[in-house]
Every structure is written in structure tokens, then in C-alpha cells.
Amino acid sequence: MNTLIIALKILKQNFTQPANLIILVIVPLVLIQLLGTALSGVFSASNNIAEISLAYQVVDKGPIGEAFEHYLKIATKNSSDSIDNRDEGLKQLEQAQYQAFVVMDEKAEKIDLYFNNAGGISAGIIESLIRAFVNDYDFKMALNMKDSEQAEIPIEFNENYFIDKTLNRTVQADSMDHMAILMLSMFVLFGAFLVSYTIETEKANLTINRIYSAPVKKESIFLGIYIGNFVSQLAMVLCLFLLSNFLLGIYFGENILKVLLILLSEVFLSVSIGMALAMLIKDTKALKALLNVLILSFVFFAGGYGPLPEVPFFQTAKLFSPMTWVKEGLFEVIFNGSSEKVMPAILICFGFGLLLMGLSFIVTSRRKEI
């Protein structure tokens, strides 16, 4: 009962502060609109299938190679060119004559895919094309193997299947959609400031001291603060999610439940970060500085400010940013309809969140006051 009373108090306190709603709901909406509009030309150009330039080479061409060549012509609307020499293809790729170069070796049963630095969003579309071919081939191969061990490898592919699934989605991802996902995942982490602010407010008002003086267990106080912040932050994220969807028309895909599960896990991590640092650091200025550095580092290494350089340090560092996994999970499930990166994002957020929650609980239980 005490836990619920404290949680409701925190919840009421968070929602009666206009600054919280402005920072975590209004500011992201404004940024989505401004940045999405500013970058609309970039994304609209990248999403145009006619502007995808692709070169390919089929080595030891047989029935599969012929099917692959036919498939590329259909999928890219005849904007792909055949090149007989791998070195020549790579050279033209380096000269930016093409965005990608695909080499299919039918005898070796492998496909090599090369991109240049200007691939952009088109690189993801091209990769989806190749994956679609491989997946459909594997599926049909499995069906034939069930019928007969001597069955010939199928070479016929449904043209509408590939075009519908990989290119002509009902809703194309534009700059507004990309910025919405980026802002949403970024501002969820900024919710850690809300937690630290709540605790600082309780200290300033001496409310926390009165609670500690009352016959209330420390566990109840800790859980009350935790639950109150979690529910209030989750409500603000849902508010931002709904406003983005209905007010700005942002597309969140067909797997809304999985998108919300990823966001819920990130909210849990954000609250855990705020609680842990607020428990460990008593100095308010030092706490805010550390939160700023930590969260902005997460955003930077997740590619929130732009693509990271292709060097080992940055490519390794981004794996330690929870936002990397959240962002990739959201993009994958929303735009590709794939759940492959959903569970890793959820497990990483909940895993780190539980670790930090346990740390903050241990610190709280050993102190006489927060």
C-alpha cells in the first residue's frame, strides 16, 4: 500500500510539471517536423527505385544464374547492368558509377554484395532484394527436396511477389518516418533526467526525509519511486507515439505490439539509468553532467548524429550503445517487417536495466537516506 501511495505521488508530481511534457513530448514532435521536412529531399530521392544503380556478374551461369539475372531485371525495373569482369565491376563501383555490385557464383553457391560509400538508403533496399531472392530460392528448394531427391532446381519466380515485398510497400519510409524513430528512441533515454529531477525535488522539499522518518520500509520507498517514474515516463512515450502517428502521420509498421515492447524495454532502461546515477552521485551538477555525457554518447555511437566512420573503434563502440540495438530493432520491424533484431534489443535493455536497478537498490538499502 505504501509503495502505491508513493508511486501515485511521483506520478502526479511528474505530470503537474509542464516542463516534463514540453521536453519529452512537445520538443520531439517539433524536431520531427522540422528535421523531417528539411531532409525530405534526401530521403525521397533515395527511395526512388528508378534511381537505384546496380551492376551484377553471374559466374558459371546455369538455371539459377538465369533466374537471378531475370529477377534483378524485374526487381530494379531494368536499372541493373551486367558486367563480365569482377575487377571491372569493382572499379566502376569505386568510381561511383553504381551504388552496388553483386557477384553470384552459381557453382560456389554464394553471392557477394559490394557497396560504395554513397549507397545510403538504397543500400538497404538492394540488400533486401538479394535476401528476398535467397529466401525464395531456399523455400522452393526445400519444397522440391520433399517431392524428390532428384528434383531439378526451380528457376521460375513470381514477379509480383518480389516487387510487392521488397519495393512497393503500401507506405514508403520517408524522412519524417526516419526522424520520428530516431527522436523517439533518443528522447526515451532523456527520460533518465526526469528520474533524477524527481529525486532532487523530493530532497529539496524534504519530502524524502519525512518518508524515511515514517514506519515505511526502504524497499517500499524504492519501488514506489521506481514505479512512479516508470509509469509516468511510459505514459509520455505513448503520448509521443500516438501524437506522432495521428498528428504527423508517422508510419510505425504493422507490428505495433513489437514496436511498443522495444520502447517499453528502453523506458525501463532509462529509468534504471536515472535511478542508479541519482543514488550513486549526490552532487546535482555532477549528476546532470554525467547524464548528459552518457546519453549523448549513446546517441552518437548509435549514429544519431550521422553515419559513423567505417573504422574498428567506432564499429565496436556502437555495440555498447543500447540505442544502437533499439534503433536497429525499430527500423527492422517497422520497415522490413522482420523480428530478427527485436528480441536482442529487448533483452539488452532489460538486461542492463535490471543490472542498474539491482545496483541502485543495494545502494538505497545501505543508506539511511537518499
Phi, psi of 292 (to 5 degrees): -60, -50
pLDDT in tens, 156-187: 444 443 333 333 343 455 667 778 888 888 88
Bridge partners of 29, per DSSP, are none
pLDDT at 357 over 50: yes
Query: pLDDT-based confidence at 195, cuts 50/70/90?
Result: confident
Give mean pLDDT, residues 344-366: 89
Residue among 306, 294, 349, 305 at smallest CA distance from 326: 349
Q: Give the pLDDT score at 266.
A: 95
Spell out the domain ranges in the chain.
2-42+173-366, 50-166
Cα–Cα distance measured from residue 335 to residue 253, given in angstroms and rounded to the nearest whole number: 6
Q: Which three cell numbers stand for residue 256?
A: 505495433
| Count of H-run helices and E-run strands, the chain | 17, 4
* Range list of β-strands (E), 4-118: 54-59, 80-82, 100-105, 110-115
DSSP 299-364: HHHTTTTSPPPSSHHHHHHGGG-HHHHHHHHHHHHHHS---TTHHHHHHHHHHHHHHHHHHHHHHH
pLDDT category at 338 given cuts 50, 70, 90 is confident
Asked if residue 21 has pLDDT above 70, the reply is: yes
Provide the residue count of the chain: 370
Q: What mean pLDDT is predicted for residues 105-131?
A: 69
Instruction: Write down the pLDDT at residue 213.
Output: 60
C-alpha grid cell, residue 364: 538505497
Please report the pLDDT score of residue 47 as a whole number: 46
Over pLDDT 90: what percentage of the chain?
Answer: 17
Contacts of 356 (CB under 8 A, 6+ apart): 269, 272, 273, 275, 276
Among 21-35, 190-204, 253-267, name the one with the lowest average pLDDT: 190-204
Question: In the structure, what pLDDT confidence band is assigned to residue 257 with cuts at 50, 70 and 90?
Answer: very high
pLDDT tens digit string along 36-90?
A: 777 665 554 444 454 567 888 888 787 777 888 887 777 776 667 888 888 888 8
Indicate whether this model's pTM tops 0.75.
Answer: no
Q: What pLDDT score does 154 carry? A: 41
Of the pLDDT bands very low, low, confident and very high (cuts 50, 70, 90), residue 268 is very high
pLDDT band per the 50, 70, 90 thresholds, residue 259: very high
Mean pLDDT of all residues in 138-151: 43
Close Cβ partners of 188 (under 8 Å, ≥ 6 residues apart): 233, 237, 263, 266, 267, 270, 326
Query: How many C-beta neighbours within 10 Å does residue 196 have?
Result: 22
Q: Does domain 50-166 have CATH number 3.40.190?
A: yes
Q: How confident is the model at residue 264 (pLDDT cuts 50, 70, 90)?
A: very high
Lowest-pLDDT range of 119-128, 181-190, 198-207, 355-364: 119-128
Q: Which residue has the cell 552459381?
A: 106
Cα–Cα distance between 213 and 26 in angstroms, integer?
38
Residue 30 is predicted with a pLDDT of 86
Mean pLDDT of 314-325: 89
Average pLDDT over residues 304-326: 84
244: cell is 506522432
Q: What is the model's pLDDT at position 117?
A: 56
Among candidate residues 321, 343, 341, the one with its CA nearest the CA of residue 331:
341
